[in-house]
A = this chain, B = another copy of it.
Amino acid sequence: MKLASLDNGTRDGRLFVVACDLSRAVPAAGIADTMQQALDDWDGVAPRLQVLSDALNAGSVSDAILFDPARALAPLPRAWQWLDGSAFHAHGELMAKVFGISNPQSDRPLMYQGMSHRFIPATAPVPLPTEADGIDFEGEFAVITDDVPLGTDAATARGHVKLLLLVNDWSLRATGRAEMATGFGWVQAKPACSAAPVAVTPDELGDAWEDGRVHLDLLVDWNGKRFGAANGGAMGFCFGELIAHAARTRDLCAGTIIGSGTVSNENYREIGSSCIAERRGIELLDEGAARTGFMHFGDRVRMEALNDGVSLFGAIDQQVVKAGG
């Protein structure tokens, strides 16, 4: 099942069920008005959405419309909680080498809490204050949970994954390193994230959802040129472990989004990276200096994941622009 929140002038948008091939969509009228409503009562709502989805995919829904990704907000336009991990060891080990520090934490996941009151739609411009901040993208997979009680273990946690997302965790590298040094984590360095237009239930992935990981390539294009195609199956900690880590001292509310961190594989020299910082790190190690600069206003980034040749989440495809410009 695939779901989207289409713009109706409200902050939360209106919940639609989207066809598997992303061609058409139908409002979830009478089932749930918004994505958050659906998540708040997922066990009651999901079976009814599934019936509608089956009918839509069978072509037997009369009030379907063409699905226009440009009308889509983020699937969950605002969330009560966004906890982003850094679960790909290839990335963590590389960045530790670059910073000249020991890999800070290998026995448990790295995780920070980020801005969640607005996720940027997949095709909307991304307003940022200055190029001097070192504008970078970070391609990630993410999950949305229902209510997760405090103390839930990793095996149980995996059952709380209700939806999967494709996220671009925008990062400002020049301020990010200074913020890391404080130990307080990032505020200025992590503005709003973007999300691909469609959220999908795990069963949509078939065999590509296994061991709490998304075993698909995350295709990243920067200004029309392939930049990376790292596979999500290489996560060191699976999403169940990330959820359990977050829930050790707090409950998680329905609609909590948990991110994988930058998707990264050990053969990054061949398949590329999901963020510029990683490429710069490779250059620094291999060539003694980072050659690749960060993004300029007007630059475009595209992210997508294909499942059996079909776009799973739809594409993020958007431009960075000067805020207030």
Contact = CB atoms under 8 A, between A and B. Distances in A.
A159 interface: no
Contacts of A86: 184
B150 A249 contact: no
Contact of A187 (B182, B187, B246, B323): B246
A236 interface: no
Contacts of A269: none
Interface in A225-267: 245-246, 248-253, 256
A80 B191 CA distance: 14
A185 interface: yes
A133 B249 contact: yes
Contacts of A118: 251, 253
B78 A80 contact: yes
A129 B182 contact: no
A105 interface: yes
B172 A117 contact: no
**At the interface, is chain A mostly helix, strand, loop or mixed?**
loop
A51 interface: no
Interface in A168-207: 172, 175, 178, 180-189, 191-192
A127 interface: yes
A187 B256 CA distance: 14
A295 to B, nearest CB: 14
A9 interface: no
Contact of A181 (B116, B117, B183): B183
Nearest to A111: B187
B187 A129 contact: no
Contacts of A151: 129, 323-324
B116 A80 contact: yes
A127 B150 contact: yes
A318 to B, nearest CB: 17
Nearest to A178: B105
A250 B116 contact: no
